[in-house]
């Protein structure tokens, strides 16, 4: 079942590629159908309800390279289920958003899109470190093609920067993985890349520090955390709309997922020491990203920097590592995925119509495209953290959770909530309000785009109004990750304040 | 005394020599390009078939000179297969060019013979013989298009520098022999390393470094790669370097040379410098063959991780890592040069980056093969190159060679840049849609398809190949002594 | 340890010899710099042949045909050395040696046939061959 999730996308991608000969619409429909089928595969997991005990909803394990104890091991738990749903949902949005934008080599575009998604799903499902790494790298290559082939004016530079950053940091992670496995092999006598086995590796503090750093850098590059974020504005800006949606909505989440699935459980003691630094990076990301977003005149770049800022909250929440903060992280991941995807679709739509992303050349668009502008306003407000919409819940919970760990840090992070309205509203202000600087005769959103945006709006409102439905899904995972991991393996968790339990879970 | 079993164990080499003689006579009797080609292909195939027959008899020391074991046989198969690919590529390449083309196959056969001898060499004499058979064949092959000024230049350059390297090699061997009184690798291991013999070893390593084009002995590489005809470059890049590497590991392990501190430090240093310099020089190139040349310097540097690690991790893992990486490297290098060969029109070679602009849209099949080969060279997962790199990571981190691994990561990062640059070039919209190439060389495309399958096969499901190598590689005699 | 010392002491002449070579070479390179008068005359670079200014190209170009023939001679002559060595140890080598030698000579013969057929043993130059062919017609 889990393998089918990935396989469907991979096969669908090949089909879409080949279908190009039957007209430009064939690949689009095939991609759409593939994603719908994939989504349908997930229904049983929801239908079955979520058991209180036992984290793993599904599990598959096949031998792959026995020489090194590498297996094809996929597993699904609450948090990965949520992210998988997000991936497929945004995949649909990406296909819909590129329906008219992509006119050349349509087949190959959808092939790359679907394969990127397949890689991302693999990342969310893999429970074998080697397999994880394979998927981690696999998703980058088609993404590179998406940017390099269908990107905008500066695509070569952006694509290669994206590729180099992620690949080189990935190699660091591979090295860390291999060393971890070898240390485990020295203790236990067998090679294994299996997640559960490696969880029990006992490490010296010094070694653990270096290994953790290897993982941390790889994931922080993807997240992106502040010193490693420079690829992101370029990649996001230059990518085609579909690519930006996937990048911002889904791919950034793989970094966060890696941190919460691997870094923190594998190196709990080290993480406890490291968390002030990581949270500091997160806070720096929030403030620095927000300020840079404010300074942009390029619409997509603004949204890209705002992603840096929002991901800072994720970093803070993750390393606070308590129930509230983690719930906040989960919600933020989902909400940010949707709102940033929507903003990129919007920016893409504007660019498709007036052929510029420069906000100095916009202004007064509201009169021309009222629907577009209203939707833009909605998502800007969502992104700035209006109560009742998804992002607010997430960031609020993160701050609440982080406050117990480090009050000063949290106070600084909360400043992000002030910066966010500034840059979000400046986007609306400059693009849609004010005087008309150039006359653009443009279409408003059509039925397809309205439907697309409608879905995204519904999702955002849902998360904002009823986050408990999401939290229920990830609940078991959360309890387990805080108590100890996997099959009754107790693991000390220093960063967690004593006495903290899930009692105070829920809406604020 | 040589017994029948000994001769049987040598069958892969004997058959190949016989084929070489037959091809030579065939050329003498009836000069025909097709005939020579078919004979060669058939001959290599027969030699390949003999390998499984032999595999039950190994390991077997035949005279002090030659040790046929699993390690040697696995490489022999790889080298012969690479020779086969090179022969097919030569057929497509030289068919459309003028001049007498039959001797190419003769020389390929002798080059393979040299590689086979090197892989099984167990003695300085067979080391030198194998190396010279290989090198002399390569001189002629590189300069084969006599009227091409660059090929001629490349040939002369390789000849002169190779001669110098051979002189170093002989002097080194003489020094070692003078000190220890033996030329057998295994016996050398028992003798204490004195000052002159260490000097001799270093001289030998200089020669080996030249053959492997390791920095600082790499200066010939780019010119020779560029000047030689593309299929010959493929042969040079794979068979020649691979066999020398195989020999280096065996020599180093059995004679205990890697345990000499100076030598292991030098090797590590050379590895780091090769990775960095090779990849760095590749960045600025605009000629595909030169890019591949410099990248091969980097790859040889990566490969050196295996011998350096052999000290700590033992011969088994090192040999396994080496063979896996070589198999991957063979497949991807041959595929890359195969594409260059097929792309080349009759009057020149498609070696400029511009020749590849828009290849995805004009010749998608070739572009696919080429990009898979390049991505594999870059070490992207699901391709053979990744498994190879993974092995090096495993060997290196088990040997705690952090500096080498750091250089490997940096080198890979640099490497990505120029590999992706070619892929990007191929993905660009073509300047003008040229007329589609009329000739469709079936053989070359078949070979490329097989190579593509190999790259993916090794990358996606390497377990069978690893099983083939893993338990019984027999280099561990000496490594057991170290532990 | 002792053996090492002995060997190290044996090395001294060797090292001294190398050092002497280095000194001599250095001397030959350096001393003329001080002794020789720098002369930058008009004819400094010209070849000196008993006071007569040379006329014509001094690079005599021999036809390439000499070289292959010379090389073939060396090759085949060298093979005789191997045969001689085998003949000395004829009885010790036994039948296997005999067969090996047969193979060896067989390969040599094949090579000879090959050389003969590709015309490598033909003394004439390409131009002469063309002339002869024309004469025959």
**Within A321-389, where are the H helices?**
323-354, 365-368, 370-384
* Contact between A329 and A256 (Cβ < 8 Å): yes
Encoded tokens for B85 = 């690919």
The answer as to whether C44 is a domain residue is no
What is the domain count for chain C?
Answer: 2
Asked whether residue C25 is domain-assigned, the answer is: yes
What would the pLDDT profile of B68-118 be if each residue is shown by its tens digit? 988 899 999 999 999 999 999 999 898 888 888 889 999 999 999 999 999
Residue C114: inside a domain, yes or no? yes
From B2, B28, B179, residue closest to C118, measured CB to CB: B28
Which candidate from B25, B194, B195 shows the least CB-CB separation from C113? B25
- Condensed to tens digits (0 to 9), the pLDDT of residues A334-351 reads 999 999 999 999 888 888
Of the candidate ranges B25-29, B192-196, B301-305, C5-9, the one whose mean pLDDT is the lowest? C5-9
Q: Is residue A323 part of a domain?
A: yes
Burial, A291: exposed, middle or buried (Cβ in 10 Å; 0-12, 13-18, 19+)? middle
Going by pLDDT thresholds of 50, 70 and 90, the confidence category of residue A284 is very high
Q: Is residue A169 part of a domain?
A: yes
Q: What CATH number is given to the structural domain containing C86?
A: 1.20.58.1610
Alpha-carbon gap: B278 to the closest alpha carbon of chain A (Å): 18
The reply to whether A457 falls in a domain is: yes
| pTM for the predicted model, two decimal places | 0.88
Pair (C86, C31) in one structural domain? no
Q: What does the mean pLDDT of chain B come to?
A: 88
- In the predicted structure, residue A497 carries a pLDDT above the cut 80: no
Residues of A at the B interface, defined by Cβ within 8 angstroms = 63-68, 105, 130, 133-134, 137-138, 141, 144-145, 148-149, 156, 159-160, 163-164, 167-168, 171-172, 174-175, 178-179, 182
Check residue B63 and give its pLDDT: 85
Residue A76 Ramachandran class (φ > 0 left, ψ -120 to 50 alpha, else beta): beta
- Pairing relationship of beta strands A484-485 and A58-65 according to DSSP bridges: unpaired
Q: What is the dihedral of CA B378, B379, B382, B383, to 10 degrees?
A: 70
**Are C114 and B25 a contacting pair at CB < 8 A?**
yes
Q: Identify the CA nearest to A505 among candidates A401, A387, A411, A417.
A: A401
Q: Please tell me whether residues C121 and C78 are part of one structural domain.
A: yes
Higher pLDDT, C35 or B335: B335
Question: B417: which chain A residues are within 8 Å (Cβ-Cβ)?
Answer: 160, 164
**Average pLDDT value for residue range B196-207:** 90
User: Residue B192: its pLDDT value, please?
Assistant: 67
B303-357 pLDDT, tens digit each: 999 999 988 888 888 999 999 999 999 999 999 999 999 888 888 888 888 888 8
**Which of B382, B424, B463 is nearest residue A134 as measured by Cβ atoms?**
B382
User: Are residues A172 and B375, on separate chains, in Cβ contact within 8 Å?
Assistant: no
User: Residues C127, C87: one domain?
Assistant: yes
Q: How close is the nearest chain A Cα to the Cα of B247, in Å?
A: 25
Q: Do chains B and C touch (3 or more CB pairs under 8 A)?
A: yes
* Shortest Cα–Cα distance, B381 to chain A (Å): 5
- Residue B439: pLDDT band (50, 70, 90) is low
Could you tell me if B470 lies within 8 Å of chain A, comparing CB atoms? yes
Does residue A131 surpass a pLDDT of 90? yes
- Tens of pLDDT along A247-279? 888 999 999 999 988 888 888 888 888 888 999
3-class secondary structure per residue, chain B: CCCHHHHHHCHHHHHHHHHHHHHHHHHHHCCCHHHHHHHHHHHHHHHHHHHHHHCCCCCEEECCCEEECHHHHHHHHHHHHHHHHHHHHHHHHHHCCCCCCCHHHHHHHHHHHHHHHHHHECEHHHHHHHHHHHHHHHHHHHCCCCCCHHHHHHHHHHHHHHHHHHHHHHHHHHHHHHHHCCCEHHHHCCCCCCHHHHHHHHHHHHHHHHHCCCCCCCCCHHHHHHHCCHHHHHHHHHHHHHHHHHHHHHHHHHCCHHHCHHHHHHHHHHHHHHHHHHHHHHHCCCEHHHHHHHHHHHHHHHHCHHHHHHHHHHHHHHHHHHHHHHHHHHHHHHHHHHHHHHHCCCCCCCCEHHHHCCHHHHCHHHHHHHHHHHHHHHCCCCCHHHHHHHHHHHHHHHCCCHHHHHHHHHHHHHHHHHHHHHHHHHHCCCCCCCCCCCCCCHHHHHHHHHHHHHHHHHHHCCHHHHHHHCCCCCCHHHHHHHC
C84 inside domain: yes
Residue closest to B422 by CA, chosen among A156, A241, A274: A156
Minimal CA–CA distance to A122: which of A16, A220, A2, A37?
A2
> Quick one: closest CA in A to B406, which residue?
A172
C74 shares its domain with C130:
yes
Contacts of C11 in chain B (CB under 8 A): 195-196
Q: Which strand (E) or helix (H) includes residue C82?
A: helix C66-88
In a domain, A506, yes or no: no
Number of domains, chain B:
1
- Higher per-residue confidence, B456 vs C8: B456
Same domain? C17 vs C74: no
CB of B413 within 8 Å of a chain A CB? The answer is yes
Name which of C4, C110, C113 is nearest B194 (Cβ-Cβ).
Answer: C4
Question: Which pair of tokens denotes residue A235?
Answer: 């990649």
If pLDDT is split at 50, 70 and 90, which confidence band does B255 have? confident
- Whether chain C has a CB inside 8 Å of the CB on B24: the answer is yes
Q: Between chain B and chain C, how many beta carbons pairs sit less than 8 Å apart?
A: 29
Tell me, yes or no, whether A473 lies in a domain: yes
The parent domain of residue B167 ranges over: 4-482
For residue A397, give both structure tokens.
């919970």
Q: Select from C4, C107, C118 the Cβ nearest to the Cβ of B21.
A: C107
How many angstroms separate the first and last alpha carbons of chain C?
A: 83
Question: B235, B392, B394, B425: which is closest to B298 by C-alpha?
Answer: B392
Residue C47 resides in a domain: no
CB of B345 within 8 Å of any CB in chain A? no
Of A105, A137, A175, the CB nearest to B397: A175
User: Which of A67, A149, A174 is opposite residue B466, by nearest beta carbon?
Assistant: A67
**Does any domain span residue C85?**
yes
Burial (CB count within 10 angstroms: exposed 0-12, middle 13-18, buried 19+), residue A48: exposed
Residue A484 has pLDDT above 70, yes or no: no
Nearest residue of chain C to residue B14 (CA atoms): C103
Report yes or no: A86 and A341 within 8 Å, Cβ to Cβ.
no
Q: To 5 degrees, how large is the angle CA A367–CA A368–CA A372?
A: 95
Name every chain C residue with its beta carbon within 8 A of the beta carbon of B25.
110, 113-114
Kindly determine whether residue B195 and residue C11, on different chains, have CB atoms separated by under 8 Å.
yes
Nearest to B185 by CA among B137, B249, B232: B249
Whether residues A138 and B375 touch (CB distance < 8 A) is answered with no
Q: Comparing C-alpha atoms, which of A130, A161, A137, A135 is closest to residue A148? A: A161
Report the pLDDT averaged over residues A501-507: 37
CA torsion, points B454, B459, B460, B461, in degrees to nearest 10? 80
Chains that touch B (3 or more CB pairs under 8 A): A, C
Beta strands in A10-156 (DSSP E): 58-65, 70-76
Q: Does B5 touch chain C (CB under 8 A)?
A: no
Considering CB atoms only, which of B2, B28, B194 is closest to C114? B28
Q: Does B461 touch chain A (CB under 8 A)?
A: yes
Q: How many domains does chain A have?
A: 1
Residue C53 lies in a domain: no
Domain around A377: 2-501
Domain that holds residue C27: 1-36
Report if residue A507 sits inside a domain.
no
B442: contact with C, CB 8 A cutoff? no
């Amino acid at each position: 079942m889990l393998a089918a999730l990935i396989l469907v996308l991979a096969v669908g991608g090949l089909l879409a590629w080949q279908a190009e000969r039957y007209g430009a619409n064939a690949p689009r429909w095939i991609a759409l159908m593939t994603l719908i089928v994939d989504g349908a595969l997930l229904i049983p997991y929801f239908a079955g309800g979520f058991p209180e005990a036992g984290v793993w909803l599904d599990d598959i394990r096949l031998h792959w390279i026995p020489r090194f104890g590498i297996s094809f091991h996929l597993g699904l738990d609450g948090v990965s289920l949520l992210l998988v749903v997000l991936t497929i949902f945004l995949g649909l949005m990406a296909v819909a958003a590129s329906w008219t934008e992509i006119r050349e080599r349509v087949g190959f575009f959808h092939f790359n899109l679907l394969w990127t998604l397949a890689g991302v799903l693999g990342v969310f499902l893999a429970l074998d470190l080697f397999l994880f790494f394979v998927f981690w790298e696999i998703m980058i290559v088609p993404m590179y093609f998406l940017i390099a082939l269908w990107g905008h004016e500066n695509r070569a530079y952006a694509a290669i920067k994206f590729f180099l950053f992620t690949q080189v940091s990935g190699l660091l992670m591979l090295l860390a993985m291999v060393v971890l496995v070898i240390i485990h092999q020295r203790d236990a006598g067998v090679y294994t890349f299996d997640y559960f086995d490696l969880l029990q590796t006992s490490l010296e503090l010094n070694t653990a520090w270096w290994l953790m750093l290897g993982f941390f850098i790889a994931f922080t590059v993807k997240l992106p955390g502040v010193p490693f974020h420079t690829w992101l504005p370029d990649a996001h800006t230059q990518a085609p709309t579909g690519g930006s949606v996937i990048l911002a909505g889904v791919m950034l989440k793989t970094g966060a997922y890696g941190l919460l699935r691997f870094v923190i459980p594998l190196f709990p003691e080290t993480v406890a020491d490291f968390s002030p630094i990581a949270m500091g990076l997160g806070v720096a990301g929030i403030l620095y990203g927000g300020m840079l977003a404010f300074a942009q005149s390029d619409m997509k770049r603004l949204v890209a920097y705002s992603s840096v800022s929002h991901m800072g909250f994720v970093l803070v929440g993750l390393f606070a590592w308590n129930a509230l903060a983690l719930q906040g992280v989960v919600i933020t991941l989902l909400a940010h995925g949707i709102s940033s995807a929507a903003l990129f679709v919007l920016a893409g739509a504007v660019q498709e119509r007036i052929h510029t992303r420069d906000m100095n050349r916009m202004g007064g668009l509201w009169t021309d495209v009222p629907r577009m502008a209203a939707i833009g306003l909605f998502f800007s407000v969502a992104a700035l953290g209006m109560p009742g919409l998804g992002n607010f819940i997430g960031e609020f919970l993160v701050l609440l959770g982080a406050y117990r760990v480090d009050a000063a840090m949290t106070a600084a992070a909360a400043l992000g909530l002030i910066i966010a309205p500034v840059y979000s509203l400046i986007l609306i202000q400059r693009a849609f309000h004010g005087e008309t600087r150039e006359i653009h005769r443009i279409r408003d959103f059509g039925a397809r785009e309205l439907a697309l945006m409608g879905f995204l709006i519904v999702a955002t409102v849902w998360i904002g109004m009823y986050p408990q439905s999401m939290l229920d899904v990830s609940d078991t995972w959360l309890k387990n990750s805080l108590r100890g991991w996997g099959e009754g393996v107790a693991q000390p968790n220093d960063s967690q304040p004593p006495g903290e339990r899930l009692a105070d879970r829920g809406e604020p | 005394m040589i017994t029948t079993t000994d001769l049987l164990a040598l069958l892969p080499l004997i058959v190949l020599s016989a084929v070489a003689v037959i091809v030579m006579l065939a050329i003498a009797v009836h000069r025909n390009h097709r005939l020579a080609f078919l004979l060669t292909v058939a001959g290599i195939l027969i030699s390949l078939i003999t390998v499984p027959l032999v595999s039950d008899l190994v390991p077997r020391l035949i005279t002090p000179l030659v040790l046929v074991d699993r390690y040697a046989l696995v490489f022999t198969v790889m080298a012969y297969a690479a020779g086969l690919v090179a022969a097919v590529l030569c057929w497509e390449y030289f068919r459309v060019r003028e001049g007498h083309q039959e001797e190419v196959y003769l020389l390929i056969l002798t080059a393979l013979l040299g590689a086979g001898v090197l892989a099984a060499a167990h003695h300085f004499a067979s080391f030198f013989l194998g190396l010279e058979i290989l090198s002399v064949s390569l001189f002629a092959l590189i300069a084969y298009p006599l009227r091409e000024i660059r090929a001629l230049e490349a040939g002369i350059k390789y000849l002169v520098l190779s001669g110098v390297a051979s002189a170093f090699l002989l002097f080194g061997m003489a020094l070692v022999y003078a000190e220890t009184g033996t030329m057998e690798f295994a016996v050398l291991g028992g003798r204490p390393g004195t000052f002159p013999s260490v000097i001799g070893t270093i001289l030998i390593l200089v020669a080996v470094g030249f053959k492997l084009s390791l920095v600082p002995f790499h200066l010939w590489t780019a010119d020779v790669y560029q000047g030689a005809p593309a299929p010959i470059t493929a042969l040079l890049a794979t068979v020649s370097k691979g066999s020398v590497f195989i020999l280096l590991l065996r020599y180093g392990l059995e004679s205990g040379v890697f345990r000499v501190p100076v030598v292991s430090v030098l090797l590590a240093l050379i590895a780091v410098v090769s990775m960095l310099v090779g990849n760095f020089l590749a960045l600025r190139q605009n000629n595909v063959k030169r890019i591949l040349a410099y990248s091969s310097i980097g790859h040889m540097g990566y490969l050196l991780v295996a011998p350096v690690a052999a000290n700590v991790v033992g011969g088994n893992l090192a040999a396994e890592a080496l063979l896996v990486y070589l198999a991957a490297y063979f497949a991807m290098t041959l595929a890359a040069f195969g594409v260059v060969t097929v792309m080349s029109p009759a009057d020149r070679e498609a070696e400029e980056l511009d020749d590849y602009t828009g290849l995805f849209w004009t010749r998608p099949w070739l572009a696919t093969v080429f990009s898979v080969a390049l991505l594999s060279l870059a070490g992207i997962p699901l391709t053979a190159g990744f498994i190879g790199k993974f092995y090096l990571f495993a060997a290196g981190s088990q040997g705690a060679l952090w500096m080498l691994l750091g250089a490997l990561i940096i080198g890979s990062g640099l490497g990505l840049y120029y590999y992706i640059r070619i892929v990007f070039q191929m993905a660009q919209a073509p300047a003008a849609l040229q007329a589609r190439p009329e000739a469709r060389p079936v053989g070359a495309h078949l070979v490329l398809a097989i190579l593509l399958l190999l790259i993916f096969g090794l990358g996606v499901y390497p377990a069978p190949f690893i099983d083939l190598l893993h338990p019984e590689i027999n280099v561990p005699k000496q490594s057991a002594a170290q532990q | 340890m002792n053996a090492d010392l002995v060997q190290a002491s044996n090395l001294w002449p060797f090292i001294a010899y190398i050092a002497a070579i280095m000194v001599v070479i250095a001397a030959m390179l350096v001393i003329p710099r001080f002794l020789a008068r720098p002369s930058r005359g008009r004819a400094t670079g010209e070849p000196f042949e008993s006071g007569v200014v040379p006329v014509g190209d001094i690079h005599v170009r021999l036809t390439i045909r000499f070289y292959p023939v010379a090389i073939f001679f060396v090759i085949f002559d060298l093979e005789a050395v191997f045969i001689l060595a085998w003949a000395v140890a004829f009885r010790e080598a036994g039948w296997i040696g005999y067969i090996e030698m047969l193979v060896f000579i067989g390969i040599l013969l094949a090579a000879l046939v090959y050389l003969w057929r590709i015309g490598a043993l033909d003394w004439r130059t390409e131009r002469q061959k063309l002339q002869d062919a024309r004469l025959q017609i």
